[in-house]
Structure 1
Amino acid sequence: MTDRKVNGEQLALMFREGAAVLGANVKKVDALNVFPVPDGDTGTNMNLTITSGVREVDQKERHHAGNVAKTFSKGLLMGARGNSGVILSQLFRGFSKSVEKKETLTVDDLQKALQEGVDTAYKAVMKPVEGTILTVAKDAADTETGHNSGSPAGWMEEVYKNAESSLQKTPELLQVLKEVGVVDSGGQGLVYIYQGMMQSLYGITSQQDKANNPSMDELVKVEHHQNAQSHLSSEEIEYGYCTELMVKLNKENGAGQSFDENAFKQEIARWGDSLLVVSDDDLVKVHIHAEYPGEVLSKAQRHGSLLHVKIDNMREQYEALHKDRQEENPGAKEADTPAGAPFAPFGFVTIAAGEGVQALFRGLGAQEVVAGGQTMNPSTEDILNAVTKVEAETIFILPNNGNIVMSAEQAAEVSGKHVRVIPSKTIPQGLSAMFAFSEDASPDDNDKKMKQALSEVTSGQITYAVRETKMGGLHINKGDYMGIVEKDIATAGPELETVTINLLHELLNKESDIVTLIRGEGGTEAVEEAVSSFVEETYPDVELEIHDGGQPLYSYIIAVE
């Protein structure tokens, strides 16, 4: 690119190629997570976040650079998942504000936009930590503009190089990175994004297999997750049939060589929503929520032969799910607010994975439980949709995961309601906060009591290692069980029972009153019998409770009060 200015189309391509390069390296970024737990998802969260932004841009006009940046920022904001995704959205939120009135962008404009993005992101983080994505973004934004003759491509190359250099220094700034021998995962994700943005300005478009970007299965999972959170009743589902199909492109008449994915999207978009299209030289995969799926199939057949078709009635699925929930919580229907009735004084939105854990929160009064947690961080939009459904004067959000707190805060900020985030970082903290809530207290008093309750419970978790590593003086083999206290790995070994007992040794003391085990996937009666014997013999005054949580990946969640 020899132009001295970046127009809207070029900026859109920069964002798209940034997403493409990150998408091709998601697994590498995920593998950099410090903890060897099975839910290391920095790359996945950043990928889904930036994909949301690109999808928003692809649906709007792309002539005005400021409008493109604004649209991209909106998509990132609503699609942000996890702390890394929220920080990424804040980087481009500041970028967008800086250029919102500019039709084209000079190098100086781009540099100021990156700097405003850094300022916005730092303000969004309560306690910024150096050696993270923030440091990489800050160092990249410091790239001078005077050495490239005003060339956006040349300057963006320097931005990329400075970001890479900063990334390699992150282990010197964060001891835990140095101990494990990795660079910061969020910073690495940002470097990939800048690499793609640079390549686009040099006319290099990504040729990676599109399967390296979010897979159709991943994107469909996200769409269904959002859909499940966005409807109050089956009647509100405008497009009732989840339609998935695979088309083998018909090369005999040349269609396979000239298939235009964007034109195809426009052709079938009018038949529904939640449209996803993934194509390569031979195949097209389609997902859409449509009211008349036959029309979609007919349009698709014009391009080739149908290899696979799957159609589900979402209204029937919703009714079945709603019926199951009513049976689990029979009082829920009576508790619904009648039309025209005054709002309840308080409401709750909480995030949890596992039917049993979700039932615990509903039993304590949560009106909306967003499905998510370790394995699937909900987006800002998911949480916002849940907040929208709660008819209460003051709404409390309990994230129950440190990687969801920022998304919750972002949802609260844009909700337009009186929303308070109680920054629970574990399931035990969330439950403790809800127990501390009082209907008779004021919003301020409840806020204070619930936040105080977070520190009155100690949280433990049992999961398994996805790779071999050394942390905190422990040698951990791949597949070992790990006992985690708050954020630290306290014990590890090949036997679930031994690790669970060792973790209880770390958690319990003479001041303990109650220990609660929440059983997840992999939990066994044998382990629970051993725990019961251990507690009875070692801490006879401590009460033991066991609940079936059904949470994935974590054999046990443990709360000690």
Structure 2
Amino acid sequence: MQVMDAVAVRRWADACVRTLDANRESIDQINVFPVPDGDTGTNLLHTMQSALDALLRSPMSSVGDALGALARGALAGARGNSGVILSQVLRGLAEAVQEVSVITGSALRKALHRADELATAAVSQPVPGTVLTVLHAASEAARDCPSDELDEVVVAASRASAVALADTPRQLAVLAKAGVVDAGGRGLVVLLDTLAAVITGQAVETPADTPLPPRTPESLTTERESGSPEFEYEVMYLVDETSEDLMTGLRSTLAMFGDCVSVVGDGASLWTVHVHCNDIGAVIEAGVRVGRPHRITVARFADQITAQASRFVRDRAIVVVVSGAVDLFRAEGATVFDLASSSATSTDLLSAIVSTRARHVAVLPGDPSIREVLDEAVAYAQAAGQDVVVVPTFSPVQALAALAVHDSSRRAGDDVVAMAEAAAATRRGELAIAADEAITWVGRCQPGDLLGMLDGEVVLIEAGPATPESVMDLSCRLVDRMLAGGGELVTVILGAECPDGLADVLEDHLRVTHPEVEVTAYPGGQPDAVIFVGVE
């Protein structure tokens, strides 16, 4: 394409999320500057996902509006220093094209130049050999490109960024010692390659990275290149209800508390603050004095090796993430995150995992809808040195079956395999009340109808409104349906809306129809299902 409109911007943003997701782990693994916290790829992915989410919620009347939405979303969801810089790259692109309807080659040249200016200004002490060096090379290549054709300008920028990335170890000793290129620069090359691929319609060939020496464990514990004291925490927050002068003063204040300081805005009213420090309270108080800080996040760096050695007080722990049945799982010795009492954010789930203070943690999720935020929490815990494994469970009854075979005396890997096998051998059923009209495998359901589900699919429908009699009848039919394939043990977890006597009705029914089956019922109190049923 020779011009890029708002639709193409959306295609690029979506492709960036997918390519960053594919490259996240490899970028995390080469993250050694300014601290080896192994999260640059994860931070870039989270920031770009936040940008895409904001774009999808905004009207795309022009290419400037589309890029502006990306920039605002990236700033609001920026993670880490790399996320802040990415937000400024997107802001620079947006500011440069506000007066045009489409991006041409000359417009992209101006946009990359503005992105280079803003990203450099976002860093208190720019260092050669970082993402800023890679961005500057791309900007200069676009400026010097003899053609104004969009595809030729973007290919020139993409190729120049790859060449600059390969040269980063010769500019920054910490990278050469670790045998890697700059992680933030690698992320930027991914984004520019993706842009080139969207515009040209094909993958762009970039020069291969210069061969570097293999990494060693010692390379991850190197001191900072600047020689400043090693700061233990990363603090980030958003600020509004302030002014540019006050935020300029905040930048100077934060420089007294730590390093990697960045205070950047979206060009309108929102600012994001990032700093590595030891005095968390002072950094937050400084923000209070200039505006209204919110979305405050504090993370301890994963490279505190001496701290890691002592922070684990036990070898093994189980974390169960379910809605209701808290007492049941706690009685089995598990740490329980109750979805019925709090929303499942990655930060909350990470807190539950870290709070176990266990070296090895097995997570048993009882709801498939939390998998995305759970994966994010697990990635952070793993980056910080915990061995965390998610056992595939999709219902509280499968989590209960897995927990029943847990044996802390086994090797951690063997124990996880045993739990996974027990969960897989448990068929999961559920009786719930339909909230909306929908088409299912067995017909249309209306709000208020009773739904009998087997392994996540609706297999039985009883017209609403639900009565105690209809609930009991459908429960018996659902269990019969589940036992058609065989089974020896039926486990039932009773929900908050379960009618009195249901457990007795099921037991009496199965005593007649399946006398060989053992039935166990537990009060769960979950609000989202009348009952959960497991068959083993």
TM score, norm. by length of structure 1: 0.44
Structure number with the bigger relative contact order (C-alpha 8 A, sep ≥ 6) is 1
Larger radius of gyration: 2
TM score, norm. by length of structure 2: 0.46
